[in-house]
Chains A and B, each alone.
Chain A
Amino acid sequence: MGLLRQIRIARSIRVPKQVRPWSVSAACLLAFAYPAFAGSPTNIFDPAGTPARSIFSLSMLVLSVTLVIFLIVAGLLLYALIRFRQRPTDTASEPAQVYGSNQIELSWTVIPILIVVMLFLSTTRVILETEAKPKPASAVNVIVIGHQFWWEYRYPKLGVVTANELHIPVSDPKNPSPTYLQMSSADVSHSFWVPRLAGKTDLIPNRINTMWIDPAEAGLYLGQCAQYCGTQHAKMLLRVYAQLPADFAAWIKQQQQPAQADLSGQPMAEEGRKVFLHNACINCHTVTGTVANGRFGPDLTHLASRDTIASGPIVNSPENLKAWIANPDTLKPGSLMPSMHLNDRDLNAVTAYLTTLH
């Protein structure tokens, strides 16, 4: 596993086009530091999409420049401290007093200015190629809405609404189909950060921000909310599933269906649906095809098709689901979903119903 990742990072180091000469020294440094980074699914130095990759090559340039500055200045400082230390054999006289030199001052003003201009120009290029890139017609649009403490995803052209697990198609570099995220917030500020795909963008209420992601390889990319948003900021995790076009189309097709209406032969689930529809659940949750149309909490139409609940930290199993419904606060203290104080029978019934929502 570690080796595989090492190979992958080695390959991604080869990718940068514009600043390769600078990258080499920093890449060597990284290779030494590499064991430290191995195995993290959220490593910014293991980019898997275009924005993350251009940031990565810029970061290699900046790291190389700062490393060189560090070695020079720290080296001189160390040398001066050792060379000019007071020795026991020294006479008591004071050293020669030097008050300054305009030429020297000028040189260590001008050289840093040149370095700054160079860094500024390369930074500007990456800003423009990320933020000012025209959107291709083949792009997939997703509206992302941050909530305390979960993510709402809406696919406006496809008629799909889901929560916490974002599905997107992979983007073939030859024929790119990036996903454009239009982001806002229903309450306080949040921030969308999946390090291997792109830098973060804040979700701010009363404002719309846009970012794009385009992983080339299918897989699960992790991240989490990066702007402090209240008690459970820590458990507002991000899961992005990049799927091959056929898989993505199949997922969309399945998500477009209303919730399964025919529960005959599943008396427990049938009863659970009654409990669900006759309780306050429907004020906050939507299940398409029923009267439940609340929007305060996640859409549950296809809850059972998700791997996790509670915005990522908990595996979606009937036991966990039951514990969650019984009292969300025990699993995610500060969660805004209240305990509904259901009796055990109702609890089992509702759990059975929710597990039918594929």
Chain B
Amino acid sequence: MANATTVLEGIERTAPTGRSQRPSVVYEWLTTVDHKKIGIMYIVYALIFLVIAGTQALLMRIQLAVPNNHFVSPQIFNRLFTMHGTTMVFFVGVPILFGFGNYLVPLMIGARDMAFPRLNAFSFWISAFGGILLYMSYFAASGLYGAGSAPDVGWFAYAPLTAKVFSPGHSTDYWTLSILMSGIGTTGTALNIVATTICLRCKGMTLTRMPLFVWLLFVTSCMVFIVVSPLTAAQIMLTLDRYLGSHFFDTQAGGSAVLWMHFFWIFGHPEVYILILPTFAFINEIVPVFSRKAIFGYPAMVAASVGIGFVSLSVWAHHMFTVGMGPAGNTFFVFATMVVSVPTGIKMFNWLATIWGGKVRFRTPMMFAVGFLFQFLIAGLTGIMLSSAPFDWQLSASYFVVAHFHYVLVGGILFALFAAFYYWYPKMTGRMMSETLGKWHFWFFVVGFHLTFDFMHIPGLLGMPRRIYTYEAGRGWEYWNLIVGIGAIVQTIGTLIFVYNLVHSYFRGKEAGPDPWDAWTLEWSTDSPPPAYNFAVEPTVGSRRPLWDLKHPEDPDSSYE
């Protein structure tokens, strides 16, 4: 490895700030507009919700471990899966990925902050407010009717179950408004990332030299503009239905239940890509660094990302193969959905080719990235099964679907997120996370994951629908659900090790230095943690891997690109 100090040559070291009286820590964090602090707040906030929503999942698995269980009532179970889904998508997935985006995009393009720092702070706080509002429902939503606490309409809240007559009280309103809030925050951050990427790149960083991480966050943010609007519109229409007597989704007065499905899924499916593209971004950084090779097929990777962004906007109705769209509609969405697998496959093959011929270092980030590669492959293949509409007539709304999208969300996204934590934690805190604990975390989690989600496919094939609080004995589902429950407990242990590692390493971790992984992108050229202004002098880059060029002046990338 090249000496870190040599690497840093040419980049001015930080000068201490002249301020003598520091404001209190709380005040500083509450009022900060620093993209790094906001990024960390996003991440911590999402981690708290991850623990909450994970606990909800565990409770559900205990309830389903044996048939005809009475651990929780149907009312409580229905709230659990609604809150679990809503929280994981809107208050864990989006904020945690935008947290990493917020932290890393300016650092990777050599900027001092996001384009609109105050909008950035606003976006975070309005999203955070949304999450808190959702959980306020547990205490406040019974309202005048005393009808219940948290929302229980499912995370995609199909009409007309959300109509006033089927969902009295205010729990559905808490759901609607919290998602509206989070949508505003998401749009603000997306706007910020797009503007930052377009306007604030450092000298020499053309679009074709931008790290793939930034490309993917850019594509994701563009998608947010397009798909959050229909969701917001649908939430407003639903509120009008509930309070001002409009009839968009009110089937008893001629409204359309299917209209809600279209509105929701034109958001809902691209949302999956909004969640998965940033994790591709992590993998695009981690796999090359730990294989010690440049990413294979950079232009193809960019094209595939943009391609996924576009095609994913035309696949939403594959969630609706069972609503009776007719052969023409079904056929179109089968085709569009299958086409997405082509750019996704290109990505997978490029990662494979990046590893090919490298020298793979199995440190914790790479182990999670490898987990991602295998699991995302399987998730993609079960996705192909579901895209075949007739097969989907059997599989949709069954546990097979639940297993499939958890394979994407946990086996793919969460594994990539863990990889990102181990990889960038040293940059964010200045300390390494414990490798030993990291490996324990990995093995517990990987075993738990496979126990839970491999075996979860089977009850779906045996006719078990999702969202049932209990089931009859004798349908062949018992053993599978028991194994799934055991897996959930093993995953919980893994997660606890991770949380312990996060806290422990913050105080006891080894000093990281600016560039612990011998990496190649700009964030590793500044201190860990970076100073408030990121770079004392604006960096200049001549290739996609500026630090490679510095470390290998005899054979720089810039002579090949």
Interface on A for B, CB 8 Å cutoff?
A: 36-45, 52, 54-55, 58-59, 62-63, 65-66, 69-70, 73-74, 76-77, 80-81, 84-86, 90, 92, 94-101, 104-105, 108-109, 112-113, 116, 119-120, 123-124, 126-128, 130-132, 148, 187-189, 191, 193, 195, 198-202, 204-207, 209-210, 222-235, 237, 313, 333-334
Q: Which residues of A contact B358 (CB under 8 A)?
A: 84, 95
- Whether B388 contacts A62 by the Cβ 8 Å rule is yes
- Whether B360 contacts A81 by the Cβ 8 Å rule is yes
Q: Do A205 and B397 contact each other (CB < 8 Å), given the known contacts A98-B357, A130-B390?
A: no
Produce 1/0 per residue, B424-456, CB < 8 A to A: 000000000000000000000000000000000
Bound-complex Cα distance A254 to B514 (A):
84
Is B370 located at the chain interface by the 8 A CB criterion? yes
- Whether B465 contacts A84 by the Cβ 8 Å rule is no
- Whether A233 contacts B467 by the Cβ 8 Å rule is yes
- Whether A234 contacts B469 by the Cβ 8 Å rule is yes
Is B293 located at the chain interface by the 8 A CB criterion? yes
By beta carbon, the residue of chain A nearest B158 is: A189
Bound-complex Cα distance A157 to B261 (A):
34
A3 vs chain B, min Cβ distance (A): 16
Q: Do A187 and B166 contact each other (CB < 8 Å), given the known contacts A80-B355, A99-B298, A123-B390?
A: yes
Bound-complex Cα distance A73 to B396 (A):
26
User: CB within 8 Å of A: which of B373-432?
Assistant: 373-374, 377-378, 381-382, 384-385, 388-398
Q: Which residues of A contact B395 (CB under 8 A)?
A: 44
- Among all A-B residue pairs, the 5 with the closest Cβ atoms: A199-B393, A42-B463, A40-B476, A234-B468, A209-B324
A17 vs chain B, min Cβ distance (A): 16
What are 5 inter-chain pairs, A to B, with CB distance below 8 A? Answer: A58-B391, A119-B338, A193-B463, A200-B393, A224-B463
Bound-complex Cα distance A101 to B294 (A):
13
Q: Do A42 and B475 contact each other (CB < 8 Å), given the known contacts A84-B355, A108-B346, A204-B257?
A: yes
- Whether B353 contacts A73 by the Cβ 8 Å rule is no
B220 vs chain A, min Cβ distance (A): 23
Bound-complex Cα distance A94 to B518 (A):
11
Q: Do A94 and B292 contact each other (CB < 8 Å), given the known contacts A187-B166, A228-B467, A231-B78?
A: yes
A202 vs chain B, min Cβ distance (A): 5
By beta carbon, the residue of chain A nearest B349 is: A108
If A42-B475, A84-B358 are given as contacts, then 14 extra A-B residue pairs at C-beta distance below 8 Å, sorted by A number, are A66-B381, A70-B381, A98-B296, A99-B296, A99-B560, A104-B297, A109-B342, A116-B339, A123-B388, A127-B331, A188-B257, A231-B75, A232-B74, A234-B470
Q: Do A104 and B353 contact each other (CB < 8 Å), given the known contacts A86-B360, A95-B358?
A: yes
Produce 1/0 per residue, B471-511, CB < 8 A to A: 11011110000000000000000000000000000000000
Q: Name B330's contact: one of A42, A65, A131 (CB within 8 Å).
A: A131
Is B334 located at the chain interface by the 8 A CB criterion? yes
Bound-complex Cα distance A121 to B267 (A):
28
Bound-complex Cα distance A192 to B535 (A):
61
By beta carbon, the residue of chain B nearest A106 is: B300
- Whether A112 contacts B341 by the Cβ 8 Å rule is yes
